[in-house]
């Protein structure tokens, strides 16, 4: 049955309404211009993306709205001038917000046609700032590891299953005299092990490596480009890059200096004594029974001993491995050493006071003049490198945490639910066992918004969380942070806070204010029932940043509520109006009627 004209018009109007709603609610910024590049329509996402109001952009030249900076004006003008004849798809462009901030966008633009005639142009803008940031992070991480590989002090070689060279670092080219072009794609065994015996050894090691898939180290000889042989320590292991690519990773440590030093020590006892004592690394000699025979000055300084401690003749494990776990590992390494293995690895040992030392341990056999063999042990302090690694890991974790929390509060949802999820992440990061978020209501009242307890903490008597917080609420409005390193030392006027903290077994706590603009809207409270004052470490700023993020979320919520209030007020008036109120379209169809 054919549709009547009225029915067809109604269906078209419904479709039109749906299309209008689709454009209005689209997550992409959409804009339509007339044939003079003046904006005649912009959806909310476009206005939000570029920081303009809809009334502000209507009638403006598109380039005035999105390209108000000299560095992007020329490119934007070229797009605007050609879009009426040529559609554009620009995956990566830069445009400018109203506040002057640059924004990365992708652009889809083209002409609007009516009866075959160009009457305007459309533009669809997608904010790709997060994508660009992710790409930048990946590039930085890649550059970091490339830099780490390139500047490593040891010679490093990457090759495939057929011993074909893939990549070498600078130390490799300096050690062996080959260029990168000499190595890439070539059989490295033919280049580095020219002697038939060494070539058989090298190929045998490759076969062993690929068949066992286990790392191994070996002290042997290899050949430079000029034909000279050098002693090297090899650490070699295969690994899978992905399902299709397998790579063998080989580190060559030049042992020339080590062998020369040993020969010199055997020839020149006096020179050995001077070298032994002046060495900046801690050195100790021990016999097969584990007794300390000699220790140099650096050893005493590094491990915190003095000559009066009389460590000579003592058990080496009681001197350097005071932790039972490290002692077990040290004894296992000692057994392997006396079984013929040279030890070269990173370990953890203890000072005299029990504090940990991160060390690089090198242990080799040393033959004394009378013929007996002892262990020559070198401890190199690598605490600075370990500290840098920990700091890098901590910094990356901090950035990921703040990014996660920021994204959480930027997404739609209930602030209380978002706060409950976010406070668990931040509390665990800064070392709290309990965390609470409170907001001020009616000017003075304190209302709980979110709470979190470390799941590893034994449940106890939980105090009522609706506390007046008189003392803390007064201080938090005036101070950027309230530290309480010892809850037992709280003043008498903080009796409510003291009762609450002691009920949870807190040894210390810290509170940060939550400001939304100039107004203090509440505070975040972090407590620790395991130790006193853990709040001044490198992760301490996390709590403050967390509160700043919540404050910004409050501001956004307030602005949204303020925007919606007039609309709700008008609807209430219309709904409860005693008179009959309707709103009709020009075709006399009713689009609103009150009750």
Shared-domain flag, residues 159 and 195: yes
The CA-based diameter of the chain, rounded to the nearest angstrom, is: 117
Shared-domain flag, residues 162 and 115: no
Is 526 in contact with 547 (CB distance < 8 Å)?
no
Range of the domain at 330: 268-381
Is 124 in contact with 112 (CB distance < 8 Å)?
no
User: How buried is residue 542: exposed, middle or buried, by Cβ count under 10 Å (0-12/13-18/19+)?
Assistant: buried
pLDDT at 152 over 80: yes
Shared-domain flag, residues 249 and 273: no
d(CA 436, CA 459): 16
The total of other beta-carbon atoms located within 10 Å of residue 584's CB is 11
Cβ burial 551-560 (10 Å sphere, 16+ → b, else e): bbbbeeeeee
Among the candidates 90, 105, 132, a domain finishes at: 132
Q: Which residues contact 283 (CB under 8 A, 6 or more apart)?
A: 276, 294, 295, 296, 298, 299, 376, 377, 378, 379
- Global confidence as pTM: 0.39
Shared-domain flag, residues 500 and 405: yes
In a domain, 564, yes or no: no
Q: Which residues contact 574 (CB under 8 A, 6 or more apart)?
A: 581, 592, 594
CA distances from 106 to 103, 109, 131 (A): 10, 10, 11
d(CA 287, CA 354): 24
d(CA 380, CA 492): 53
What is the average pLDDT across 524-530? 83
CA distances from 208 to 161, 213, 215, 216 (A): 12, 8, 10, 9
Note the residue count of the chain.
595
- The pLDDT assigned to 473 comes to 87
Half-sphere exposure of 234 (CA within 13 A, CB side): 22
pLDDT at 7 over 70: no
- When mean pLDDT is compared across 176-180, 183-187, 266-270, 450-454, the lowest value belongs to 266-270
d(CA 90, CA 95): 12
Q: Which residues contact 544 (CB under 8 A, 6 or more apart)?
A: 480, 481, 512
pLDDT at 47 over 90: yes
In a domain, 566, yes or no: no
Among the candidates 254, 285, 308, a domain finishes at: 254
Is 360 in contact with 345 (CB distance < 8 Å)?
yes
User: Long-range contacts: 129-137, Cβ < 8 Å, 24+?
Assistant: 129/103, 129/104, 131/104, 132/92, 132/104
Is the model more confident about 21 or about 61? 61
Shared-domain flag, residues 436 and 479: yes
pLDDT at 1 over 60: no
d(CA 79, CA 62): 11
In a domain, 506, yes or no: yes
Shared-domain flag, residues 87 and 212: no
In a domain, 259, yes or no: no
- The pLDDT assigned to 370 comes to 76
Among the candidates 381, 399, 421, a domain finishes at: 381
Split at pLDDT 50, 70, 90, the class of 351 is: very high
CATH of the domain at 533: 3.30.450.40
- The pLDDT assigned to 432 comes to 85
Is 408 in contact with 422 (CB distance < 8 Å)?
yes
Q: Which of 252-266, 346-360, 366-380, 419-433 holds the top average pLDDT?
A: 346-360
The angle formed by the CA atoms of residues 489, 494 and 495, to the nearest 5 degrees, is 95
Split at pLDDT 50, 70, 90, the class of 300 is: very high
Q: What is the DSSP string of 202-247?
A: HHHHHHHHHHH---EEEEEEEE-TTS-EEEEEEEEEEEESSSS-EE
d(CA 222, CA 233): 10
Split at pLDDT 50, 70, 90, the class of 583 is: low
Average pLDDT, the chain: 84
CA distances from 29 to 76, 79, 379, 535 (A): 16, 17, 62, 44
pLDDT per position as a tens digit, 324-350: 889 999 999 999 999 988 899 999 999
Shared-domain flag, residues 277 and 359: yes
Closest by Cα among 520, 582, 574, 525 to 551: 520
pLDDT at 5 over 60: no
User: Long-range contacts: 369-375, Cβ < 8 Å, 24+?
Assistant: 369/266, 369/269, 372/287, 373/288, 374/285, 374/286, 374/287, 374/288, 374/293, 375/285, 375/286, 375/287, 375/288, 375/334, 375/337, 375/338
CATH of the domain at 213: 3.30.450.20
What is the average pLDDT across 164-177? 90
Shared-domain flag, residues 359 and 227: no
Shared-domain flag, residues 302 and 238: no
In a domain, 395, yes or no: yes
In a domain, 355, yes or no: yes
Cβ burial 301-329 (10 Å sphere, 16+ → b, else e): ebbebeeeeebeeeebbebbbbeeebbee
Is the model more confident about 275 or about 11? 275
pLDDT per position as a tens digit, 232-280: 999 988 888 777 788 888 999 999 988 888 787 677 777 777 777 888 8
The residues facing 447 across adjacent strands are 439
Shared-domain flag, residues 426 and 451: yes
pLDDT at 580 over 80: no
pLDDT at 585 over 80: no
- The pLDDT assigned to 9 comes to 58
d(CA 13, CA 17): 6
In a domain, 51, yes or no: yes
Helix (H) or strand (E) holding 294: strand 292-295
Phi-psi region of 443 (alpha: psi -120 to 50; beta: other; left: phi over 0): left
pLDDT per position as a tens digit, 84-135: 888 888 888 999 999 999 999 999 999 998 888 888 999 999 998 888 888 8
Give me the number of domains the chain comprises: 4
Closest by Cα among 232, 268, 280 to 252: 232
Shared-domain flag, residues 242 and 299: no
In a domain, 586, yes or no: no
Shared-domain flag, residues 401 and 530: yes
d(CA 310, CA 300): 11
- When mean pLDDT is compared across 314-323, 521-530, 568-577, the lowest value belongs to 568-577
């Amino acid at each position: 049955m054919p549709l009547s004209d009225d029915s067809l018009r109604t269906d078209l109007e419904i479709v039109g309404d749906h299309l209008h709603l689709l454009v209005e609610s689209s997550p992409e910024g959409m804009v339509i211009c007339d044939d003079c590049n003046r904006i005649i329509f912009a959806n909310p996402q476009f206005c939000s993306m570029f920081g303009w109001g809809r009334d502000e952009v209507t009638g403006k030249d598109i380039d005035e709205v999105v390209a108000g900076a000299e560095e992007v004006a020329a490119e934007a003008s070229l797009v605007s001038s050609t879009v009426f004849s040529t559609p554009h798809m620009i995956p990566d462009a830069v445009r400018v917000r109203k506040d002057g901030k640059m924004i990365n966008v992708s652009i889809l633009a083209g002409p609007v046609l009516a009866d075959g005639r160009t009457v305007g142009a459309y533009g669809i803008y997608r904010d790709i700032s997060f994508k660009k940031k992710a790409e930048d992070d990946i590039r930085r991480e890649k550059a970091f590891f490339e830099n780490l590989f390139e500047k490593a002090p040891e010679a490093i070689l990457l090759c495939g299953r057929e011993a074909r060279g893939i990549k070498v670092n600078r130390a490799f080219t300096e050690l062996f005299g080959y260029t990168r072009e000499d190595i890439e794609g070539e059989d490295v065994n033919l280049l580095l092990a020219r002697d038939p015996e060494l070539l058989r050894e090298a190929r045998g090691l490759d076969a062993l490596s690929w068949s066992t898939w286990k790392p191994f180290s070996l002290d042997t000889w290899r050949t430079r480009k000029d034909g000279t042989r050098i002693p090297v320590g090899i650490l070699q292991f295969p690994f899978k890059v992905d399902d299709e690519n397998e790579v063998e990773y080989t580190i060559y440590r030049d042992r020339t200096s080590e062998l020369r030093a040993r020969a010199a020590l055997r020839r020149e006892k006096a020179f050995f004594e001077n070298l032994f004592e002046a060495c900046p690394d801690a050195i100790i000699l021990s016999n097969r029974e584990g007794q300390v025979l000699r220790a140099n000055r650096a050893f005493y300084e590094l491990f915190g001993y003095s000559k009066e401690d009389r460590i000579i003749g003592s058990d080496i494990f009681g001197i350097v491995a005071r932790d039972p776990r490290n002692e077990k590992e040290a004894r296992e390494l000692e057994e392997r050493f006396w079984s013929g293995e040279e030890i070269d690895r990173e370990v953890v040992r203890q000072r005299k006071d029990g504090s940990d030392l991160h060390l690089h341990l090198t242990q080799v056999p040393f033959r004394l003049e009378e013929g007996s063999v002892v262990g020559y042990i070198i401890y190199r302090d690598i605490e600075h490198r370990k500290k840098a690694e920990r700091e890098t890991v901590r910094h990356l974790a901090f950035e990921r945490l703040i990014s996660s929390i920021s994204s959480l509060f930027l997404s739609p949802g209930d602030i209380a639910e978002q706060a409950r999820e976010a406070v668990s992440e931040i509390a665990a990061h800064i070392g709290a066992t309990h965390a609470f978020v409170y907001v001020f209501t009616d000017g003075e009242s304190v209302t709980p918004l979110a709470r979190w307890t470390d799941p590893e903490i034994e449940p106890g008597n939980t105090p009522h969380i609706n506390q007046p917080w008189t003392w803390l609420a007064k201080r938090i409005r005036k101070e950027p942070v309230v530290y309480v390193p010892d809850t037992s030392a709280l003043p008498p006027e903080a009796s409510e806070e003291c009762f609450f903290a002691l009920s949870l077994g807190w040894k210390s706590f810290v509170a940060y204010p939550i400001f939304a603009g100039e107004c203090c809207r509440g505070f975040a409270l972090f407590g620790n029932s395991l130790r006193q004052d853990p709040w001044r470490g490198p992760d301490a700023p996390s709590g403050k940043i967390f509160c700043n993020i919540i404050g910004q979320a409050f501001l956004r919520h307030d602005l949204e509520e303020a925007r919606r209030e007039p609309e709700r007020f008008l609807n209430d008036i219309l709904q409860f109006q005693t008179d009959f109120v309707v709103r009709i379209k020009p075709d006399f169809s009713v689009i609103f009627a009150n009750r």
